[in-house]
Amino acid sequence: MKNIFLGLLTVWACSTNLWSQDTNALLINTHNRKTTSLNGSWHYIVDPYENGYYNYRYEPFDQQEQPSTNAYFTNTKPKSPSDLIEYNFDEADTMQVPGDWNTQKEKLYYYEGTIWYKKSFDYPKTNLKNRIFLYVGAANYKTEAYLNGEKLGTHIGGFTPFNFEVTHLLKEKDNFIIFKVDNKRTKEGVPTLNTDWWNYGGITRDVKLIETPLTFIQDHFVHLDSKDNNIIKGEVNLKGGKNLAHEVTVEIPELRIKKKLTTDTSGRATFEIKSRKIEYWSPENPKLYDVSFTTNDEELQDQIGFRTITTQDDDILLNGKPILLKGISLHEESPITKGRANSRADAEKVLSWIKEMGGNYVRLSHYPHNEHIVRLADEMGILVWEENPVYWTIQWNNPKTYANAQNQLLEMIQRDKNRAAVIIWSMANETPVSDARNTFLTKLIKTARKTDPTRLISAALEQSSDPNNPNIKHIDDPMADVVDVLSFNQYLGWYGGTPESCRDAQWEITQNKPVIISEFGAGAKQGLHGDKNERWTEEYQEYLYIETLAMLQKIDQLSGISPWILVDFRSPRRPLPHIQDDYNRKGLISEDGKKKKAFWVLKEFYDTWK
Ligand code: GCB
């Protein structure tokens, strides 16, 4: 009976255009929604030739009217003993989701290519009028998604979330989701072929079903007015349904705020509320307020901090007062499982190390990290730099590459725009100056500012030496004039010169902007001791930190630093046996959690830096 009803509902909904592309818009605040986790054990098939996706003429099965039973997403089973079906998910090995495949299966350590994932589940619906979405926190790098043999869509980008509405396809019993996840690096990709980190493949973040009413709150953005910190500004967006003009109540009980809004026919309402009692969010007092949006059918809460972040001349101002960013860079690698980090426990461990180091700031490099760490930073009072994976040598002239980079940027902003901790959107890392690159980045910056005018924009640039005197350093990059905060990486004493060279360096930075040193560092194998001039020893790294910190303090505009890096991380560029063994060793902590001597140098600096 229910199936007949579902069928009728489908016909009705499709004919009234209730399930449209529009409802695939990215849902935010999924941590506070009604969800069913699909994490756990998934079957997988390794498919280096993409045999389950292309026929023998290399035509994709999912573009055929009637896909062949050879298409893995059809999950076909032999009906009679004579049937030829050459795959079987249910007999295949399993893996944990979320999780990269490289560290779960020894055979897949270096694998780059396609793996198919399958999970079966029942979904007894309590309210047949509700909508159901399939949400994936991230899968690296390209995902083709299918439910019950039907294509849901494609997502490109390894570090941002995506969702598809599945209401019309879901059954009470025996649903099967199939994902084709492909982590092949490509020239036109973002990032591109060459990076200095491990290209972990797989469904690396949480997968869940999200249930909403027919007309639902897709998006909200609540923040302090950058110019008047007694005003809370915001907007809410409804989706689903033809007439989207509805009443929405926004409430912040602790501030005794309750305001009724009416959305326009596109589902949007904006508001401004004055309050003189706001306790501002800061690293010392990471105050979060419960904020709720209520419609006739739904209540969605979030925990939101209120602060302003601005610049004045060469200062970064948090809530109107200059702040020094005492930070460190971080890759998304788990100190617990050693693969891609994806849990709150991973985040707790690394953010606690930053606190122990006297830090108040983290650079999440070189791509958006999982939502757990951003939410925890909000709770713990750690300021965050988030970064788009535009790294090194992207195809600056390729419009598809630009569209991809912009899409990933917008997904990152969409997910995290309500987090007070996030103060900087970084557009790129160490990209070589050219007209095409400048145009590309300027366009990205314009988009970021338009989407979120409440945060600072930066990019990790490079510095250059004066042609007449290599000791004199400048920032010549034209992007310096476009960003709010001037950030650059420098490796004096490691990729050139010795730690002592720092004594002769003179920084002539002419731009009147705050400066963040987004990277410096040296490799050291934890436990290897020797002379301070001997590479790879803890003493060398310690010495480099002492000399570099002394040098950097002479930069007048210095407002923050995020040395490279908190924990040693995997990179195929680092094969040196017995020292690197596939790890970039510039961490202050080894991959098994042991602190190196330079950790304490940085701590001492942070404890006294004013
Ligand atoms: C850099 C890059 C970073 C590398 C680091 C290094 O400048 O931004 O991704 O890992 O240098 O260790 O060489």
Instruction: Tell me the CA–centroid distance for residue 520 and ligand 1, in Å.
Output: 9
pLDDT value at residue 69: 95
Greater confidence (241 vs 12) lies with 241
For residue 126, name the pLDDT band (cuts at 50, 70, 90): confident
pLDDT value at residue 125: 75
Q: What is the rounded CA–CA span in Å between residue 346 and residue 496?
A: 34
For residue 129, name the pLDDT band (cuts at 50, 70, 90): confident
**Probe target for ligand 1 pocket from 488, 489, 517, 574, with the most ligand atoms within 8 Å of CB:** 489
- Given the CA of residue 494, which atom of ligand 1 is nearest to it? 13
For residue 127, name the pLDDT band (cuts at 50, 70, 90): confident
pLDDT value at residue 385: 98
Residue 393 scores a pLDDT above 90: yes
Residue 214 scores a pLDDT above 80: yes
DSSP notation for 550-598: HHHTT-TTEEEE--S-SB-EE-TT---TTTTTTEE---SB-TTSPBPHH
For residue 128, name the pLDDT band (cuts at 50, 70, 90): confident
pLDDT value at residue 437: 98
> Which range among 117-126, 267-276, 386-395 shows the weakest confidence by mean pLDDT?
117-126
Q: What is the rounded CA–CA span in Å between residue 558 and residue 323?
A: 11
Residue 17 scores a pLDDT above 90: no
- Which protein residue has the closest C-alpha to ligand 1 atom 4? 196
- Encode pLDDT of 289-346 as tens digits: 999 999 999 999 999 999 999 999 999 999 999 999 999 999 999 999 999 999 999 9
- Which protein residue has the closest C-alpha to ligand 1 atom 7? 489
> Which CATH code of 3.20.20.70, 3.90.180.10, 3.60.10.10, 2.60.120.260 fits the domain covering 2-212?
2.60.120.260
pLDDT value at residue 12: 40
**For the stretch 210-228, what's the b/e string if a residue is b when 16 or more beta carbons lie within 10 angstroms of its beta carbon?**
bbbbbbbbbbbbbbbbeee
Query: Reading across the β-sheet that carries 268-274, which strands appear in turn?
Result: 216-224, 231-239, 268-274
Q: pLDDT exceeding 70 applies to what percent of the chain? A: 96
For residue 596, name the pLDDT band (cuts at 50, 70, 90): very high
pLDDT value at residue 482: 97
Instruction: Tell me the CA–centroid distance for residue 602 and ligand 1, in Å.
Output: 19
Pairing between β-strand 216-224 and β-strand 231-239 as defined by DSSP bridges: antiparallel
Task: Tell me the average pLDDT across 48-64.
Answer: 95
What is the SS3 assignment for 406?
Answer: helix
Task: Tell me the average pLDDT across 445-453.
Answer: 98
> Which range among 121-135, 138-152, 570-584 shows the weakest confidence by mean pLDDT?
121-135
Q: How many CB atoms lie within 10 A of CB 172?
A: 12
Instruction: Tell me the CA–centroid distance for residue 595 and ligand 1, in Å.
Output: 20
Q: What is the rounded CA–CA span in Å between residue 379 and residue 357?
A: 18
Instruction: Tell me the CA–centroid distance for residue 447 and ligand 1, in Å.
Output: 27
Task: Tell me the average pLDDT across 444-469.
Answer: 96
**Probe target for ligand 1 pocket from 363, 495, 564, 568, with the most ligand atoms within 8 Å of CB:** 564
> Cβ < 6 Å from ligand 1: which residues?
196, 366, 429-430, 489, 519, 564, 584, 586
- Given the CA of residue 521, which atom of ligand 1 is nearest to it? 12
Residue 7 scores a pLDDT above 50: no
- Which protein residue has the closest C-alpha to ligand 1 atom 10? 196
Instruction: Tell me the CA–centroid distance for residue 532 and ligand 1, in Å.
Output: 22
According to DSSP, residue 245 is labeled -
What phi and psi, each to the nearest 5 degrees, are found at residue 546? -60, -45
- Given the CA of residue 365, which atom of ligand 1 is nearest to it? 9
Distance of CA 138 to the CA centre of its chain: 9
- Given the CA of residue 571, which atom of ligand 1 is nearest to it? 10
pLDDT value at residue 241: 87
pLDDT value at residue 1: 39
- Given the CA of residue 586, which atom of ligand 1 is nearest to it? 12
pLDDT value at residue 19: 44
**Probe target for ligand 1 pocket from 192, 194, 195, 196, with the most ligand atoms within 8 Å of CB:** 196
- Encode pLDDT of 180-201 as tens digits: 999 999 999 999 999 999 999 9
Q: What is the rounded CA–CA span in Å between residue 327 and residue 458?
A: 15
Tokens 């979405």 appear where?
A: 133
- Encode pLDDT of 406-440 as tens digits: 999 999 999 999 999 999 999 999 999 999 999 99
Contacts of 91 (CB under 8 A, 6+ apart): none
According to DSSP, residue 26 is labeled P
Per-domain residue ranges for the chain? 2-212, 216-307, 311-608
Q: What is the rounded CA–CA span in Å between residue 103 and residue 332?
A: 14
For residue 457, name the pLDDT band (cuts at 50, 70, 90): very high
- Encode pLDDT of 559-573 as tens digits: 999 999 999 999 999
- Given the CA of residue 489, which atom of ligand 1 is nearest to it? 7
Instruction: Tell me the CA–centroid distance for residue 392 and ligand 1, in Å.
Output: 10
Largest CA distance in the chain: 84
As given in the structure block, the two tokens for residue 441 are: 């980045």
Task: Tell me the average pLDDT across 367-389.
Answer: 98
As given in the structure block, the two tokens for residue 247 are: 């009443």
**Probe target for ligand 1 pocket from 535, 574, 584, with the most ligand atoms within 8 Å of CB:** 584
- Given the CA of residue 495, which atom of ligand 1 is nearest to it? 13
Instruction: Tell me the CA–centroid distance for residue 196 and ligand 1, in Å.
Output: 6
What is the SS3 assignment for 152?
Answer: strand
Q: Provide CATH code, domain 311-608.
A: 3.20.20.80
How high does pLDDT run on average in the chain?
Answer: 95
Give me the helix-helix angle, 371-380 and 399-416, nearest 10°.
Answer: 40
Q: What is the rounded CA–CA span in Å between residue 526 and residue 529?
A: 8
- Which protein residue has the closest C-alpha to ligand 1 atom 13? 196
Domain 216-307 fold: Immunoglobulin-like (2.60.40)
